[in-house]
Amino acid sequence: MNRRKKVTVVGAGNVGATLAHRLVDKELADVVLVDIIEDMPQGKALDLAESAPIEGYDCRLVGANGYKETADSDIVVITSGIARKPGMSRDDLINTNKGIVKQVTEEVVKYSPNCIIIIVSNPLDAMCHVAYKVSGFPKHRVIGMAGVLDSARMSCFLAEALDVSVENINSFVLGGHGDTMVPLARYSTCAGIPIPELLPKETIDKIIDRTRNGGAEIVKLLKTGSAYYAPSAATVEMVESILKDKKKILPCATLLEGEYGISGLFIGVPVKLGANGIEKIVEINLTVEERTALQKSAAAVQELVDIIGM
């Protein structure tokens, strides 16, 4: 039987609700919004459903406080958790969010044993580890959203510095989703031209630094939460590539098993995203300096994984 694709979004807060909105706006799937707050996901789902006649999307929207409604989802995006407050590092969130991601993953697996899980909750790479261990899923079905967001931030800053269309820019970011991430200017391009040909090193260094601290910059401005427009947009790009089997190469957190000299950790690298989830990990040559930076980022992720102890 043909049926529409189904995406569950766990956590109907800022990221989750904005993601649901973007998914139905693109008519990508029916959406189930799940949250522990009573009536809230139902309210947001109904509000979005009532926009459909105006916007013209034929997607079913359901809100729930349990998981029965999520059964047989193609993709489950986990955004539940507490968001970062000003002055709080991503890492401070680790223990609370570990418990939440563990509980959510157990429920998700019960109802959608064949789904692909996309993790958005922070600290991202460590939460991927939790979902991977708890779900028992093969590694190609547990994916972390970070690199698409980080490279979008870098592209935004590069387009501004070059005064060109954002569509001309392709940015390349490797590593964990934290301030040790590794934005690579020489693999980042404007209309196919490597960025170091177009901008002075000083400008590039500033942009790399701003990219690394992109999440914190928004937290500082918002004061009551963390970014959600760009994170939800980044997640949609991943969901779309999977649901439409587009096989886009996107930077995502995936379990490395020897690639880039790293084993047993979720780290952001370029992967091919298609109907089966991660269909290929793309390995590129790194300079000694870049490799060292990636190892440093992996060490930071390892520290978090040690804290969660799984």
Which positions touch ligand APR (CB under 6 A)? 10-16, 34-37, 79-81, 83-84, 97, 100, 103-104, 120-122, 225-226, 228, 231
Distance of alpha carbon 193 from alpha carbon 169, whole angstroms: 9
Q: Kindly report the CA angle at 83 between 132 and 14, in degrees rounded to 5?
A: 95
Question: Smallest distance, Å, CB 32 to ligand APR?
Answer: 12
Q: Which residues pair with 89 in a beta bridge?
A: none
Question: Smallest distance, Å, CB 263 to ligand APR?
Answer: 26
Question: Smallest distance, Å, CB 224 to ligand APR?
Answer: 10
Task: For the chain, list the strands marked E by DSSP.
Answer: 6-10, 30-34, 61-64, 75-78, 116-119, 142-144, 169-170, 173-174, 182-183, 189-190, 193-194, 248-257, 263-274, 277-281
Distance of alpha carbon 208 from alpha carbon 213, whole angstroms: 9
Question: Smallest distance, Å, CB 41 to ligand APR?
Answer: 8
Nearer to ligand APR, 97 or 188 (CB): 97
**Does the annotation count 177 as an active-site position?**
yes
Nearer to ligand APR, 122 or 297 (CB): 122
Distance of alpha carbon 170 from alpha carbon 156, whole angstroms: 10
Asked whether 42 and 71 are in contact (CB, 8 A), the reply is no
**Could you tell me the strand order of the sheet in which 116-119 lies?**
61-64, 30-34, 6-10, 75-78, 116-119, 142-144, 248-257, 263-274, 277-281
Nearer to ligand APR, 226 or 297 (CB): 226
Nearer to ligand APR, 35 or 74 (CB): 35
Nearer to ligand APR, 127 or 184 (CB): 127
* Among 75, 67, 121, residue whose Cα is nearest residue 98: 121
Question: Smallest distance, Å, CB 216 to ligand APR?
Answer: 11
Report the Cα–Cα distance between both ends of the chain, in Å, rounded. Answer: 40
Distance of alpha carbon 15 from alpha carbon 78, whole angstroms: 10
Nearer to ligand APR, 10 or 278 (CB): 10
Work out the number of other CB atoms within 10 angstroms of the CB of residue 229: 12
Question: Smallest distance, Å, CB 198 to ligand APR?
Answer: 31
**Could you tell me the strand order of the sheet in which 169-170 lies?**
169-170, 189-190, 193-194
User: Known catalytic residues?
Assistant: 177
